[in-house]
Amino acid sequence: MLWGGRFKEKLNSKALKFSSSLKYDINLLSEDIEGSIAQAEMLATVNIISNDEKDKIVFGLKKIEDEWNNNTWSPDPDNYEDVHSAIESRLFELIGDAAGKLHTGRSRNDQIATDLALWVRKNSSLISELLSTFQKTLLEISSGNTETLIPGYTHFQRAQPISLAFHLLAYIEMLERDKSRFEFVGQSVNQSPLGSGAMAGSTLPLDRNLTSKKLGFTEPTGNALDSVSNRDFILDFLNACSIGMMHLSRFSEELVIWSTSEWNFIKLSDSFTTGSSLMPQKKNPDMAELIRGKTGRVYGNYIAFISTMKSLPLSYNRDLQEDKEPLFDSFATYSDSLEIINGMLLSAEFNKSRFIEELKGDFSLATDLADWIVQKQVPFREAHKIVGNLVQKLESEGRNFKSVTLSDLKSISSVFDETAMECLQMETALRRKKTYGSPNPAIVKNRIEFWKKKLS
């Protein structure tokens, strides 16, 4: 117990259970110990504790970490309020009275803020690594598929032909933005809250620069009141997880669609699909569905915690303890989802020739034909109408672009000549794209090279 002095009675056992965060803040054990070691070393440097006491404290803290990692010590959540009290109590058992000096000039308020900053910094970079791994997988698939034609959609109606590589590269761009959000979160925790005390600093000569340096921060935070109240970085982390999950969810939806027999475009491996308990023939894309489904929970975590933060007066309030479950849950869900979707893609097979014939038989090159007309100095609105009339004529005859002849074109407008027929060649459709950022295989290959360099 960290605070018994002014109390006559013990905390009600139900109240202790209700308020204890140990079940989940035990996740912060290594950060808590790291922060405490820095604190003890600083206290010795400014002569608040002796070197001998510091050595004992550091020895005890390291032993606790070992005990936890080797499963030889695990604190009972019904006995402790949080990870900080559990560790301090174990430290007393291990080293005796010197343990009582560790908390000098420190409050659990600056302690937890420091633990969380360290945790968020570590796990932001872990997520960035997972994002890079997934980008590399997509890049690898893209490399062999710059000419693999698939339909591109708007309004989920066929719009224009694109390549599989072009489609996957769109996700690589999104994942890069996801990474930059985590980089921002990492930078937003580069100041050390340690030494802010409960909310107004300390009368002791604590060296905040020293603890900041020891913990790898760039400087101490500038205002003690803000330091113990600030959870913006947790909201930023939760938001980055939400947007990241939204991207994985959109991709998952596409994987679900691509794996239907109607699409027959992707074959997910047995190791990332499941069967039906009733229908023997089924092979279900459950992993993709679950990523899509779990996205809701990750959004919920953000909403839950930003709602908790609303209207809290400065500075620390116990409400802030509600930051942890959403934080750990969003991290676990998002990092697992990234690994799963990566495994799913690595082991999937694409039916590369699936769409070529089908695309020849639809109207996806209508825009290219209109572009051809525009080059004859016809206003685009007019060109749009001419091609619209052609589509209408062919459709009413039960035909499509596959069977179109020059005389069909000429019957609609005298602007056409035989070079217009080239626009309807599906095989060369991508190569005719001229703009930067388009699916032209040469342009896509350049972009692949760009990403290869960036991700290496």
Cis bond leading into 163, ω under 30°? no
Span 301-320, contacts to ligand ARG by CB under 6 A: 316, 318, 320
φ/ψ (deg, to 5) at 170 = -60, -40
Say which of 155, 261, 277, 414 is annotated catalytic: 155
Nearest approach in angstroms of CB 181 to ligand ARG is 24
Closest to ligand ARG by CB, 305 vs 401, is 305
SS (H, E, C) 24-78: HHHHHHHHHHHHHHHHHHHHHHCCCCCHHHHHHHHHHHHHHHHHHHCCCCCCCCC
Closest to ligand ARG by CB, 53 vs 115, is 115
Q: Which H or E run contains 382?
A: helix 380-396
Span 21-60, contacts to ligand ARG by CB under 6 A: 21, 25
For the residues of 176-241, what is the DSSP string, one character each?
Answer: HHHHHHHHHHHHHT-EE-TT-TTTT--SS---HHHHHHHTT-SEE-S-HHHHHH--HHHHHHHHHH
Span 216-245, contacts to ligand ARG by CB under 6 A: none
What is the C-alpha separation between 228 and 221, in angstroms, rounded? 10
Closest to ligand ARG by CB, 17 vs 452, is 17
3-state secondary structure (DSSP) of residue 297: helix
Q: 180 an active-site residue?
A: no
If binding is defined by CB under 6 A, does position 82 make contact with ligand ARG? yes
Q: Are 172 and 184 in contact (CB under 8 A)?
A: no
Nearest approach in angstroms of CB 118 to ligand ARG is 14
Q: 103 an active-site residue?
A: no
Position of tokens 């117990």? Answer: 1
Closest to ligand ARG by CB, 134 vs 316, is 316
What is the C-alpha separation between 392 and 417, in angstroms, rounded? 20
Site string for ligand ARG, 3-22 (x = CB under 6 A): ------------------x-
Q: Are 285 and 256 in contact (CB under 8 A)?
A: yes
Nearest approach in angstroms of CB 304 to ligand ARG is 15
Which of 415, 331, 404 is closest to 362 using CA atoms?
A: 404
Nearest approach in angstroms of CB 24 to ligand ARG is 9
Say which of 74, 269, 276, 403 is annotated catalytic: 276
Q: Are strands 191-192 and 219-220 parallel, antiparallel or unpaired?
A: parallel
Span 316-345, contacts to ligand ARG by CB under 6 A: 316, 318, 320-321
Q: Are 247 and 175 in contact (CB under 8 A)?
A: yes
Closest to ligand ARG by CB, 308 vs 347, is 308
Span 401-420, contacts to ligand ARG by CB under 6 A: none
Nearest approach in angstroms of CB 31 to ligand ARG is 12
Nearest approach in angstroms of CB 25 to ligand ARG is 6
Nearest approach in angstroms of CB 297 to ligand ARG is 21
DSSP at 277: S
Closest to ligand ARG by CB, 108 vs 179, is 108
Number of Cβ atoms within 10 Å of the Cβ of 371: 16
Which of 329, 181, 183 is closest to 244 using CA atoms?
A: 181
Site string for ligand ARG, 92-131 (x = CB under 6 A): ----------------xx--x-------------------
Closest to ligand ARG by CB, 82 vs 88, is 82
Residues in contact with ligand ARG by the rule CB under 6 A = 21, 25, 82, 108-109, 112, 316, 318, 320-321
Residues marked as catalytic: 155, 276
